[in-house]
Structure 1
Amino acid sequence: MTELPGTRTVRRRYVTVCSLLWLPSGLGLASMVLLFGERGMSLAAVAALFAAHSLTVAVLELPTGGLSDVLGRRPVLAVAGGLNVAACLLVGLGTTAWVLTAGMVLMGAARALSSGTAEAWYVDAVQERSGQDAELRTGLARGGSATSAALAAGMLLGGALPWLLGLGPGLGARLSEATSGAVIVLSVPLLLAAGVRVVLVCYVLAVLREPPRPPATLRSVLRGVPATVLDGLRLGGRDTLVRRVLLTAAAVGGALATIELLIPGRTVELTGAAGSGAMVYAALACAGFVFNGLGSHLAPLAARVAGGGERAVLVSLGAGATGLLLLGITATSVHPMATTVAVVGFGLLYLGLGAASPNQNDLLHRRVTSTGRATALSVQSLALQLSGALTGLVAGAFRPGPVPWLLTGAVLLGGALLWLRRVEARAVPGTTIASDTRADVG
């Protein structure tokens, strides 16, 4: 199929939005925990702040997905950006527990609003220009790569800024004389993140066009959002392929939760000190984003080599499960050879997850209509988050060792095996899709 020029423009805009969405997240991740600590927050209080964020995302995930389907992608993305600006300012400048809690809640609401909305806009825009059977995988892959690159860049910049500001000529001495010097320096990445969010809002309002929708009233929103959410939940129950996507998301959520919970302890064991272990973990996190982005970039190639999107998901998740198993069999050793194998496993996991995501989302978008696309993505995200929370509790109950890694690897392998049998093609209403037996041209 010949790609229309308008499709390339849509793809560039989608990649730009992905970058502007996730660069601020990386900036905040690098310094937020340290900032809370400098403000006198205990570890339990910091955990409670992050729990408030996660709970807000979980509660609002489905309603905000329905809101995006009812109101449109552009206004919802703009509101998400505005809420994130306020959240970054509250967290970056706030000094009391209630202000910081309000900031984390607003950040969670913004995350829920933006979840899947940009991707839904991209698919809608491409299908409007090129038809319902338009090639989607390449754009989804590039969006995933842009997301990973933005997170990695944000982590590096957010971690470097406080160090650079604290060591600047004469600045370090002046800051050391002020009791709030460390807080000021650690707030800079979040304030910069707020600035990037302002750019995002301006960009969304300026260039993200979408087909006109019926005028929304409060009554239509209150009636339309619950109906859209229920339709999204029913789709997961009656459609085999969508159900596979949701189960796969749950397996991936468990894998990511295990990594986030157990890798920091392993880096401390490897280096012998908490400080150096934290530095190694930060470097590994950046490497994980890089491998994830590389996997996303290679997703169209994986589909061509494997013979279709479903086979590509099978192979990619199988590679990720192999990575977890490598981490498991090396869990009790700090020998250089075991460490090398563990690093290979870590990279393989993120590479596999990165390659799987665009392929399975390409399949998902061919089973849903525009009226429920953001909701379907929100259901997928919720499955990942809830599974991650549950897996974290289960993995934390085990003593450090290979068992949590091996169990999670087995679950991810089970998610891969769901894709052994191809699902019979079924076109959604209003489409002419035949099947996914071919590999789309990237």
Structure 2
Amino acid sequence: MTGHEPPLPLPVARRRYVTVSVLFWLPIGLSLGPQVLLFTERGMALVAIAGFFAAHSLTAAALELPTGGLSDVLGRRVVLATAGVLNLSAFTLLALGTVSWVLTLGMAIMGAGRALSSGPAEAWYVDTVQAHSGPDADLRTGLARGSAATSAALAVGTLVGGALPWLLGRGPDLGARLSEATSGLVLPLSVPALLGAAVIVGFVVYVLTALPEPPRPPATLRSVLADVPATIVGGLRLGGGDALVRRVLLSAGAAGAALATIELLTPGRAAGLTGAPESGAVLFATLACAGFLCSGLGSHIAPLTARLTGGGERAVLAGLGAGACGLLVLGVTAGSSGPFGTVVAALGYGLVYLGLGVAGPNENDLLHRRVTSSRRATALSVQSLALQLVGALVGLAVGALPGGPPAWLLGGTVLGAGALLWIRGTPSREAVPRPTGTPDTVGGGDGG
């Protein structure tokens, strides 16, 4: 969109936001099912694998604030495309890497892509909606649809990514011939990541052609770098003067702890039940697919949950509380391999994702009504920073703990603490948008 063109109609903006969400998260879903098991096949121990995930999360955390304002300065489109290029490099390294330093580098590059991608698409959507309908426009519906589309993409990608290695392994020596032909670089467990790399190419093309933006003042590298210290300071101060924003950020950290726990422990638990990495990848992919569908359902009913509970804050409390209960169920059933325990564990797994799906759009709706357009991507980056940093620390702790209930219960305890933050609400201020001309990034009141 140029300075003389009207903003995109709301249905078009929502459709493009949903498409971008699908194209970005589908490759991640493709790699998610076999990733831990691929690392294991490469000879990596669980502690080393936890280190790979920490490299991803800590890189993302370190770059969130320095890069968080880039899309506010350079534009949403160029930053999203750069994130796609980084992910393309990362997926290639992770699919073909055979030694720990290459895998660490791949995860770190993916973390850099995650830092760049954590806010621009959502910021583009909110900017477009508010340009079309004003600052009081409904955001929750579109955010919920984007979150639901993300969950659907992860569900489909995880199911396909988990099934591909198993299908390749069922052919007569197909997996062995594939590995031999590539000197061991490509295993059946590598194929989903390579397919994800191909999807990322389509993501970059779509971002560059389908996300129009108003023209921005020309920015030089010097001006962008000069803005980094102010961005970091502004990000660090984001939750200092507003208790509601502070709760959103702390809740993101609690969600990161829950996700790190599930992503690190579930693949090995699935492989233990089936007795082989390929069949374990299929089981984990099936579980993950169901989990993401539950997350999508939670996102879809997030507006309804807010109405039924009396506001977005109470909906966040309900969602995070449900997720914490699900993790506690997984911890209690960690030592059980019987049919009943397995079914109960699967229900707990789904409950975690359902709860996080309900909480996410309501948290972001609260956040967007507290920040100005010029700091929106920065605020989302701070939120992602909290998720990545706490997720990395809890993931390292989980990797060091002995197997069994303690590791699961650690994640559940952290998520439960995040839910408790929302017991004391601030309903009177929830829906009051900040004036777009206000220079502060968030409201100055305590908010309770």
TM-score, length of structure 2 as denominator length: 0.85
Residue 211 of structure 1 corresponds to which residue in structure 2? 214
Residue 366 of structure 1 corresponds to which residue in structure 2? 369
In the alignment, the residues of structure 1 paired with residue 372 and residue 355 of structure 2 have an alpha-carbon distance, to the nearest angstrom, of 28
Structure 1's 45 and 429: CA in aligned 2 closer, same or farther, altered over 3 A?
same
Query: Which amino acid is the alignment partner of residue 14 of structure 2?
Result: R
Deviation, structure 1 residue 320: 1.6
Structure 1's 314 and 177: CA in aligned 2 closer, same or farther, altered over 3 A?
closer
Residue 128 of structure 2 corresponds to which residue in structure 1? 125
Deviation, structure 1 residue 370: 1.4
Residue 439 of structure 1 corresponds to which residue in structure 2? none
Indicate the SS of the match to 1:354.
helix
Deviation, structure 1 residue 192: 2.3
Residue 196 of structure 1 pairs with residue 203 of structure 2: no
Do 1:132 and 1:431's aligned partners in 2 also have CA atoms closer than 8 Å? no
In the alignment, the residues of structure 1 paired with residue 405 and residue 195 of structure 2 have an alpha-carbon distance, to the nearest angstrom, of 40
In the alignment, the residues of structure 2 paired with residue 323 and residue 94 of structure 1 have an alpha-carbon distance, to the nearest angstrom, of 35
Structure 1's 26 and 261: CA in aligned 2 closer, same or farther, altered over 3 A?
closer
Structure 1's 251 and 225: CA in aligned 2 closer, same or farther, altered over 3 A?
same
Residue 304 of structure 1 corresponds to which residue in structure 2? 307
Residue 428 of structure 1 pairs with residue 434 of structure 2: yes
How many residue pairs align between the two structures? 430
In the alignment, the residues of structure 2 paired with residue 427 and residue 192 of structure 1 have an alpha-carbon distance, to the nearest angstrom, of 42
In the alignment, the residues of structure 1 paired with residue 117 and residue 231 of structure 2 have an alpha-carbon distance, to the nearest angstrom, of 17
Aligned with 1:151 (options 147, 150, 154): 154
Moved more, 409-418 or 147-156: 409-418
Deviation, structure 1 residue 127: 1.0
Do 1:53 and 1:107's aligned partners in 2 also have CA atoms closer than 8 Å? yes
Deviation, structure 1 residue 31: 4.0
* CA offset digits 1:10-37 (Å, max 9, x no partner): 1110000000001111222344455556
Structure 1's 93 and 315: CA in aligned 2 closer, same or farther, altered over 3 A?
closer
In the alignment, the residues of structure 2 paired with residue 185 and residue 410 of structure 1 have an alpha-carbon distance, to the nearest angstrom, of 37
Do 1:70 and 1:225's aligned partners in 2 also have CA atoms closer than 8 Å? no
Query: Which amino acid is the alignment partner of residue 316 of structure 1?
Result: G
Structure 1's 171 and 10: CA in aligned 2 closer, same or farther, altered over 3 A?
same
Moved more, 106-115 or 336-345: 336-345
In the alignment, the residues of structure 2 paired with residue 269 and residue 37 of structure 1 have an alpha-carbon distance, to the nearest angstrom, of 13
Do 1:74 and 1:208's aligned partners in 2 also have CA atoms closer than 8 Å? yes
Moved more, 92-101 or 256-265: 92-101
In the alignment, the residues of structure 1 paired with residue 167 and residue 271 of structure 2 have an alpha-carbon distance, to the nearest angstrom, of 25
Structure 1's 395 and 165: CA in aligned 2 closer, same or farther, altered over 3 A?
closer
Query: Which amino acid is the alignment partner of residue 287 of structure 2?
Result: L
In the alignment, the residues of structure 2 paired with residue 175 and residue 232 of structure 1 have an alpha-carbon distance, to the nearest angstrom, of 48
Do 1:249 and 1:381's aligned partners in 2 also have CA atoms closer than 8 Å? yes
Do 2:60 and 2:114's aligned partners in 1 also have CA atoms closer than 8 Å? yes
Deviation, structure 1 residue 134: 0.9
Indicate the SS of the match to 1:110.
helix
Residue 142 of structure 1 corresponds to which residue in structure 2? 145
Structure 1's 265 and 103: CA in aligned 2 closer, same or farther, altered over 3 A?
closer
Query: Which amino acid is the alignment partner of residue 436 of structure 2?
Result: G
Aligned with 1:89 (options 69, 88, 92): 92
Residue 110 of structure 1 corresponds to which residue in structure 2? 113
Indicate the SS of the match to 1:420.
coil
Residue 79 of structure 2 corresponds to which residue in structure 1? 76
In the alignment, the residues of structure 1 paired with residue 146 and residue 80 of structure 2 have an alpha-carbon distance, to the nearest angstrom, of 16
Moved more, 136-145 or 43-52: 43-52
Across the aligned residues of Structure 1 and Structure 2, the Cα RMSD in angstroms comes to 3.1
* Alignment of structure 1 residues 342-381 onto 2, 5 Å: 342-381=345-384
Do 2:165 and 2:278's aligned partners in 1 also have CA atoms closer than 8 Å? no
* Alignment of structure 1 residues 272-311 onto 2, 5 Å: 277-311=280-314
Moved more, 244-253 or 423-432: 423-432
In the alignment, the residues of structure 1 paired with residue 99 and residue 40 of structure 2 have an alpha-carbon distance, to the nearest angstrom, of 12
Deviation, structure 1 residue 398: 4.8
In the alignment, the residues of structure 2 paired with residue 173 and residue 43 of structure 1 have an alpha-carbon distance, to the nearest angstrom, of 25
Aligned with 2:233 (options 224, 230, 255): 230
Indicate the SS of the match to 1:242.
helix
Indicate the SS of the match to 1:183.
coil
TM-score, length of structure 1 as denominator length: 0.86
* Alignment of structure 1 residues 324-343 onto 2, 5 Å: 324-343=327-346
In the alignment, the residues of structure 2 paired with residue 357 and residue 159 of structure 1 have an alpha-carbon distance, to the nearest angstrom, of 26
Do 2:249 and 2:386's aligned partners in 1 also have CA atoms closer than 8 Å? yes
Q: Could you tell me the percent identity over the aligned residues?
A: 68
Structure 1's 40 and 274: CA in aligned 2 closer, same or farther, altered over 3 A?
closer
